Amino acid sequence: MTNSKPSVLLIYTGGTIGMMQDHRTGELKPFNFKALSKQIPELEKFDIQLSSISFKNPIDSSNMNPQVWIELVTIIKDHYHQYDGFVILHGSDTMSYTASALSFMLENLSKPVILTGSQLPIGIIRTDGKENLITAIEIASAQKNGKPLVTEVCVYFEYKLYRGNRTYKYNSAHFDAFKSPNYPALAEAGVKIQYNVNALLKPSKKALTVHTTLENDIAVLKLFPGISKKITLSILNSLDVKAVIMETFGAGNACTDEWFLTALKQTIDRGVIIYNVTQCAEGKVIQGMYETSSALKKIGVVSGYDITFESAVTKLMYVLGKKQTLEKRKQLLETNLRGEITN
């Protein structure tokens, strides 16, 4: 950038943060982001060039899908050299999915992409949206020696900055809606913003590569004691399924009934990926640690290590979308690509 002050592009997709309450009817409706400074006059105090783009038809985050992710990364790609950082306003329900997806779709990222939102609309007096937005913009514009301090896809919520593909939404009733159980916060906003520099991803020296081919032929098999054989088989034998996320117990354990292991092996032999992700919020899959996971490792189940479910879904979409052999895809799933796993 040739400008002396940093520039940030604000992208509004929808969600609670962008809503205003109609004082006459009490209904919530999106407000005009061109008048953002009127809603948040504090933004005028920033020495930042701030621009905004709003989706023509803002969506509830429950309707988030891969086409919207492609639209988002395309916007970032088209404006990548015009701005020093990006802030995406997004509904909180699926924010971790979007953050995870964008982390894989934006390869060799060297600028911050910060997702934020709120639990209460920005037009409500007690809203958490103002602080979340103001600090997200400040982080997106933060520089050291003329270069962005943060160079990855993050989620900022309630005074904490997290690596996006390490988060999940755990609370719908309080402002601290997100957790990152297996990776420390990247920054914490107090009187000053304290950055955990050692936890940040190093900026890439390569040119940005944007991936827009995603495959979503994925099924989920969540294990529980007494799981039905016929239901399990119906999931594993689903037509056109390319991968199955198997949510296992503890450190990646599953029952060792002959019918179950046989069904998994037959599925793997058909070329379907079985991705082992723990049901536990903290900890990781260690296949072979116990007898109940040794068999999974032997038949070719892929370990998800400490990946979140949200990141597992989007990483699979990304990997399945690549023109690679089955073995290469499995290798990519067990490789730390964007800081999403510790293996």
Q: Are residues 225 and 319 in the same domain?
A: yes
Q: Are residues 65 and 116 in the same domain?
A: yes
pLDDT reported for residue 171: 84
Write down the residue that tokens 């107090």 correspond to: 190
Q: Are residues 204 and 227 in the same domain?
A: no
Contacts by 232-238 with C-beta closer than 8 Å and gap 24+? 232/260, 232/263, 233/263, 236/263, 236/264, 236/266, 236/267, 236/272, 237/267
pLDDT reported for residue 2: 46
CA distances from 61 to 22, 29, 38, 210 (A): 21, 15, 25, 22
Question: Which residues have CB under 8 Å from 34's CB, separation 6+?
Answer: 52
Residues serving a catalytic function are 16
Residue 312 belongs to domain with CATH number: 3.40.50.40
Residue 12 belongs to domain with CATH number: 3.40.50.1170
Q: Are residues 175 and 206 in the same domain?
A: yes
Q: For the chain, percent helix, then strand, then coil, each to nearest 5?
A: 30, 20, 45
pLDDT reported for residue 22: 66
DSSP one-letter code for 160: E
Q: Are residues 147 and 257 in the same domain?
A: no
Q: Which domain holds residue 288?
A: 218-333
Mean pLDDT by 10 residues, the chain (343 residues): 79 79 68 64 83 87 95 98 96 94 98 90 73 93 94 95 96 83 96 96 94 98 97 95 97 94 97 97 90 89 98 98 95 98 90
Q: Are residues 26 and 46 in the same domain?
A: yes
Q: Are residues 204 and 77 in the same domain?
A: yes
